[in-house]
Amino acid sequence: MNNEKQLEKFDVLLIEENPTHATLIIDQWNTVNTAKKSNVTHVRSVTDALDSLKTNTFSVLVLDLDSSETPAIESLSQILKASPATPVIALATTDEDALSTEVIQKGAQDYLIKAELTGPILYRTVRHAIERKKQLISLTLHNENLQAFAQAASHDLKAPLGNIKTISQIVLEEAGTSLEYPVLEMLRSLPVIANRLKKLIDDLLRFSLLGHKSLQLDHISLRSSIKIACEFLEEQIRNQGATIKIGPLDDVDADAALMTTVFQNLIGNACKYVKDVSPVICINTKTEGRFVVTMVQDNGIGIPEKEQQRIFEPLKRAVNASDYEGTGLGLSMVKRIIEAHQGQVWVESEPGEGSTFFFTIPQANSYTAS
């Protein structure tokens, strides 16, 4: 490399059991770094590395995965635990897709094959690993701050709403008889407005926290997600006299808690958006290619064609929904959850004729690497 003047100096901890491999790696490293004299500290085991990390800090850790002492993933998690802010580059003898994917998912910044190692490749990988780790830490911090803000804002906004309800209650009890229309009506509507605002705050918080949850994929039965969703909606289903017909359903690999949220929103809406009829909701699945398609069909008020896309955006409601309570956040949560599962959601509907919501989830073992 000609531009050695611009090379940065790094403190590298090389965890490599095989001394010959270690010498080869350091020799390669020195072909680009002699001018800036980066420090490369070599240890032969994870145990030695953990000792060294107690008293030293490094710019980067280069971890040989072929250690005979500890399994690869355990080595990685031990050193990440000891030094969570330091980037890690994994080194392996063979190019194994499953292992390299797992290593990156578990927190390494890169995966290199020893036989392909040259000084410039190693140097470039170290620089990129440091940059990736910096970005990751700043993103994690940013997300944590946002989450803390959302929670604090939600708490601080809800407290005065409680006061509004209590005060309007007291005024009604103390002075209700001396008040007349429309003041009395206005006072009576205050708790309703406060409840609506509280629901909006809760939904916004739930919506903002969704982005921070990583998927927990399990082989699940959609029937059990629907059952739990119906338990949450029990009062609404009973009050509306809704009938829920569940057809044959395929099992999927999905996040069980999030699938319950999806059904809670779709069934809840199907119960809510009806006029002059008791809700009848049919839920079925079919297989199409590598996807399971779930259909939730209702006999409700339907959705005008030009609104059928925008209702999946946050806070957007259809024109014919103004007589029904709602915050316009449920379907955007559904969309976010389904897209996190590599699927899609859409609706087919005719005003006055009911709606069918469709969503796709990859069949078991059909997720693509992303």
- The contacts of residue 56 (CB under 8 Å, 6+ apart) are 11, 13, 41
CA distances to 164, 177, 279, 330 from 307, in Å:
35, 46, 22, 15
Q: Give yes or no for residue 318 binding ligand ADP (CB under 6 A).
A: yes
- Binding segment for ligand ADP among 43-51, 99-107, 181-189, 319-327 (CB under 6 A)? 319-327
Q: Give yes or no for residue 326 binding ligand ADP (CB under 6 A).
A: yes
Q: Give yes or no for residue 327 binding ligand ADP (CB under 6 A).
A: yes
Q: Report which DSSP code applies to 321.
A: G
Tell the smallest beta-carbon distance from residue 311 to ligand ADP (Å): 4
What one-letter code names the amino acid at 288? E
Letters for 264-293 (x = contact with ligand ADP by CB under 6 A, - = none) are -x---xx--x--------------------
Supply 52's token pair.
Answer: 């060294």
CA distances to 5, 22, 24, 253, 329 from 35, in Å:
8, 20, 19, 53, 58
Nearest to ligand ADP of 61, 271 (CB atom): 271
Nearest to ligand ADP of 145, 309 (CB atom): 309
Binders of ligand ADP in range 346-365 (CB under 6 A) = 355
Q: Give yes or no for residue 345 binding ligand ADP (CB under 6 A).
A: no
Letters for 232-271 (x = contact with ligand ADP by CB under 6 A, - = none) are ---------------------------------x---xx-
Nearest to ligand ADP of 45, 320 (CB atom): 320
Strand pairing partners for 278?
A: none
Supply 70's token pair.
Answer: 């500890």
Binders of ligand ADP in range 293-312 (CB under 6 A) = 298, 300-301, 303, 311
Q: Give yes or no for residue 330 binding ligand ADP (CB under 6 A).
A: yes
CA distances to 21, 306, 310, 311, 321 from 316, in Å:
60, 13, 6, 5, 10
Q: What do you get for the CA distance between the two ends of the chain, in Å?
A: 34
Residues engaged in binding ligand ADP (CB under 6 A) = 265, 269-270, 273, 298, 300-301, 303, 311, 317-318, 321, 326-332, 355
